[in-house]
Amino acid sequence: MQISIVIPLLNEQESLNELHDWIVRVMQSNHFLYEIIFIDDGSTDGSWETIQELSQKNEHVKGIQFLKNYGKSQALHAGFKAAQGDVVITMDADLQDNPEEIPALYELIANEGNHIVSGWKKKRYDSVITKNIPSKLFNWAARRTSGVKLHDFNCGLKAFDGHVVKNIDVHGEMHRYIPVLAKNAGFSKITEKVVQHQARKYGTTKFGVERFINGFLDLITIWFVSKFGRQPMHLFGALGVLMFIVGLGFALYLGIDKLFLNPTGRLITERPQFFIALTAMIIGTQLFLAGFIGEIMVRSRKNDTRYSISNKINI
């Protein structure tokens, strides 16, 4: 199997036939060995019925249906698990991504040894106010924080070396940061390619402006997890010990002062240093415990599956 095309979707019934036919045309004219994996994320518009029909017509079509809507990341994760191709290509189901790009993306992975090629919608056909401007800001922040130099993190059209998708865990809303997850997993050859983008033909967008807020929060999580996820004690333990030492210093000072230097002075509980000592020592202990509990959790983490599949075709 040369190419797995992974397509997560939510209520895109109107586009599916057209998308399928277009992909098949491209695959056949390039003589690729391929599979198309549709992941229906709890659609209510008959998308699954269409996927079933397509799989009856075309044996290369596979499908996964979730019982309810779990989000794009979970859908991609399920698709990645099922994919068998040497190269895995993700694309949106709404016909905004152009299947004609697939052969060039494939080349960049299979022949030039890249781990990831991320699409770059240089010319976008979306609303300027709700998409283009927030998206520029978002991408800038993502570049700065992650160190991955991509212009368009959120592009649905991406190509991956098959090993990459088997070795990353996409969950929450992390689908925007798959290249960052991959980089953290050691896949460093990440490049981008300008791709064609079309205006949405059917239906409406499923993501509003709230995606940028969630996106920034996820960015902080990713930065944090990649830095301290495996050794929370390095952050919390260090901060905790530091705080505790500060508190202990004040407590010692107060004790020595009261016992030996100035026994007739103010009551210890009337002095501000007392409260600093108290707070610092309590917070220090808390931080230390947070790090400790974090370490225990890291060590006992199981592979948890967050979605439940209700149907499969050919998988």
Ligand X SMILES: Nc1nc2c(ncn2[C@@H]2O[C@H](COP(=O)(O)OP(=O)(O)O)[C@@H](O)[C@H]2O)c(=O)[nH]1
Interface residues with ligand X (CB under 6 A) are 8-10, 12, 39, 41, 69, 71-72, 75, 92-94, 96, 156, 205-207
- Rounded distance between C-alpha atoms, residue 66 and residue 135, angstroms: 29
DSSP output for 187-231: ---EEEEE--B----SS--S--THHHHHHHHHHHHHHHHHHHTT-
User: Which listed option, ligand X, Mg ion, none, makes contact with residue 93 (CB within 5 to 8 Å by class)?
Assistant: ligand X
Binding test (CB under 5 A) with Mg ion, winner from 12, 40, 41, 94: 94
14-178-79 Cα angle (round to 5):
50
Q: Is 152 in the site for Mg ion (CB under 5 A)?
A: no
- 269-304 CB burial, b ≥16 within 10 A, e <16: eebeebebbeebbebbeebbebbeebbeeeeeeeee
- Rounded distance between C-alpha atoms, residue 66 and residue 99, angstroms: 25
**Closest separation in Å from C-beta 277 to ligand X:** 51
Q: Which stretch binds Mg ion (CB under 5 A): 55-63, 93-101, 138-146, 238-246?
A: 93-101
Q: Is 96 in the site for Mg ion (CB under 5 A)?
A: yes
Residue given tokens 């152009």 in the structure block: 98
- Rounded distance between C-alpha atoms, residue 171 and residue 74, angstroms: 6
Nearest residue (CB) to ligand X, 156 versus 294: 156
User: Which listed option, ligand X, Mg ion, none, makes contact with residue 71 (CB within 5 to 8 Å by class)?
Assistant: ligand X
**Closest separation in Å from C-beta 103 to ligand X:** 21
**Closest separation in Å from C-beta 34 to ligand X:** 19
Nearest residue (CB) to ligand X, 12 versus 35: 12
Residue 45's φ and ψ, nearest 5 degrees, are -110, 15
Residue 246 structure tokens: 């500060």
User: Which listed option, ligand X, Mg ion, none, makes contact with residue 161 (CB within 5 to 8 Å by class)?
Assistant: none
Q: Is 12 in the site for Mg ion (CB under 5 A)?
A: no
Residue 13 structure tokens: 């019934």
**Closest separation in Å from C-beta 76 to ligand X:** 7
User: Which listed option, Mg ion, ligand X, none, makes contact with residue 39 (CB within 5 to 8 Å by class)?
Assistant: ligand X
- Rounded distance between C-alpha atoms, residue 53 and residue 129, angstroms: 38
Nearest residue (CB) to ligand X, 13 versus 146: 13
Question: Which chain residues interact with Mg ion by CB under 5 A?
Answer: 94, 96
